Structure 1
Amino acid sequence: MPVLDPPGFYYYKPPNTVAIISIPLENERAAIVSLSLSTLEVDGGREGKGGGSPDPRPIPSPAQAGRLRSRLHPLALLLAPWSWHKVTTLLRSAGYQVTALDLAASGVDERRFQDLRTFTDYTQPLLDVVASLPPGERVVLVGHSLGGMNIALAMDRFPEKIAAAVFVAAFMPDSVNPPSYVLDKLKQEKTMPYWLDTQFGLVVEDRERGPTSMLFGPKFLSKLYKLSPPEDLTLAMTLARPSSLFLEDLVSMPPFSESGYGSVEKVYVVCAQDEGISEGFQRWMIKNNPVKVVKEMEDADHMAMFSTPKQLFQCLSDVVDASA
Structure 2
Amino acid sequence: MGGMSSCFAKKNPAMESETSKGWVNLQSGMKVDESLIQEAAVLLLQQRENNSIEASQVFDRSFSAKSPLMGKKKQQGLPRNASSRARSITDPDIPLQDLLNRERGVDDLETKKVVLVHGGGFGAWCWYKTMSLLADASLLGDAGFEVTAINLAGSVTHSVDANNITSLSEYLNPLITFLEKLGDTEKVILVGHDFGGTCISYAMEAFPAKIAKSVFLAAFMLKNGQRTVENSTNELMQQAQIFLYANGKDQTPTAISLETSLLNDLLFNQSPTKDIALASVSMRPIPFAPILEELQLTDNNYGSVRRFYIEATEDNALPLPLQQRLCESNPPEKVFRLKGSDHSPFFSKPQALHKILLEIAAISPNQNLKNL
TM-score normalised by structure 1 residue count: 0.73
Q: Is the 8 A contact 2:310 2:338 kept in 1?
A: yes
Deviations 1:23-46 (A, max 9, x none): xxxxxxxxxxxxxxx987787964
2-structure distance, mates of 1:68, 1:50: 14
1:304 is matched with 345
* Residue 115 of structure 1, CA deviation: 3.0
Is the CA contact (8 Å cut-off) linking 2:240 and 2:263 kept in structure 1?
A: no
Quote the offset at 1:198 in angstroms.
3.0
Aligned to 2:304: 263
**Candidates 100, 123, 131, aligned match of 1:88:** 131
2:262 is equivalent to residue 220 of structure 1: yes
What amino acid is aligned across from residue 185 of structure 2 in structure 1? G
1:11 paired with 2:5, answer yes
- For residues 32-181 of structure 1, the aligned pairs below 5 Å read 46-48=78-80, 73-79=112-118, 80-94=123-137, 95-175=144-224, 178-180=225-227
Extract unaligned runs of 5+ from structure 1: 1-8, 16-37, 52-63
Match of 1:195 among 238, 245, 269: 238
Task: Classify the secondary structure of the residue corresponding to 2:216.
Answer: strand
Aligned to 2:336: 295
**What secondary structure, in the 3-state scheme, does the structure 2 residue paired with 1:300 have?**
coil
Equivalents in 2 of 1:274, 1:150: separation in Å? 20
Whichever residue aligns with residue 160 of structure 1, its letter is: A
Q: Which of 299, 308, 315 is matched with 1:274 structurally? A: 315
Evaluate the alpha carbon distance shift between residue 288 and residue 69 of structure 1 in structure 2; reply closer, same or farther with a 3 A threshold: closer
Structure 1 window deviating more from structure 2 (165-174 vs 41-50): it is 41-50
Distance in 1 between the 2:278 and 2:301 partners?
A: 37
Counterpart for residue 272 of structure 2: 229
Structure 2 letter corresponding to 1:88: M
Q: Residue in 1 aligned with 2:96? A: none
CA contact (8 A) 2:218 2:310 kept: yes
How far did residue 210 of structure 1 move? 7.5
Q: Distance in 1 between matches of 2:8 and 2:197?
A: 14
Q: 1:77 Cα deviation (Å)? A: 3.0
Residue 20 of structure 1: aligned partner: none
Query: What is the CA–CA distance in structure 2 between the aligned matches of 1:14 and 1:120, rounded to whole Å?
Result: 25
Q: Find out whether 1:314 has 2:361 as its counterpart.
A: no
Q: Which has the larger radius of gyration?
A: 2
Give SS of 1:183's match.
Answer: helix
* CA distance in structure 2 between the partners assigned to 1:73 and 1:270 by the alignment: 23
The alpha-carbon deviation at position 286 of structure 1 amounts to 0.6
SS in 2 for 1:305: helix
Would you say how many aligned residue pairs link Structure 1 and Structure 2?
A: 272
The share of aligned pairs that are identical, in percent, is 26
Change (3 A) 1:40 1:291: farther
Amino acid at match of 1:212: T
Q: Which of 233, 238, 250 is matched with 2:281 structurally?
A: 238
- Measured after TM superposition, the shift of residue 240 of structure 1 is 2.0
Q: Secondary structure at the match of 1:140?
A: strand
Instruction: Give the Cα–Cα distance (whole angstroms) in 2 for the partners of residues 171 and 290 of structure 1.
Output: 12
Aligned partners of 1:163 and 1:323 also within 8 Å: no
How many Å separate the matches in 2 of 1:318 and 1:227?
24
Structure 2: segments with no counterpart, 5+ residues? 10-69, 84-99, 138-143, 366-372
Separation in 1, partners of 2:4, 2:250: 16
Please tell me the root mean square deviation across aligned C-alpha atoms, in Å.
3.3
Secondary structure in structure 2 of the residue aligned to 1:196: helix
> 2:18 is matched with which residue?
none
Could you tell me which amino acid in structure 2 is paired with residue 215 of structure 1? S
Asked if structure 2 preserves the Cα contact closer than 8 Å seen for 1:270 and 1:297, the reply is yes
Taking structure 2 as the reference length, what is the TM-score of the superposition? 0.65
Q: Deviations over 1:49-68 (max 9, x none)?
A: 779xxxxxxxxxxxx99x99
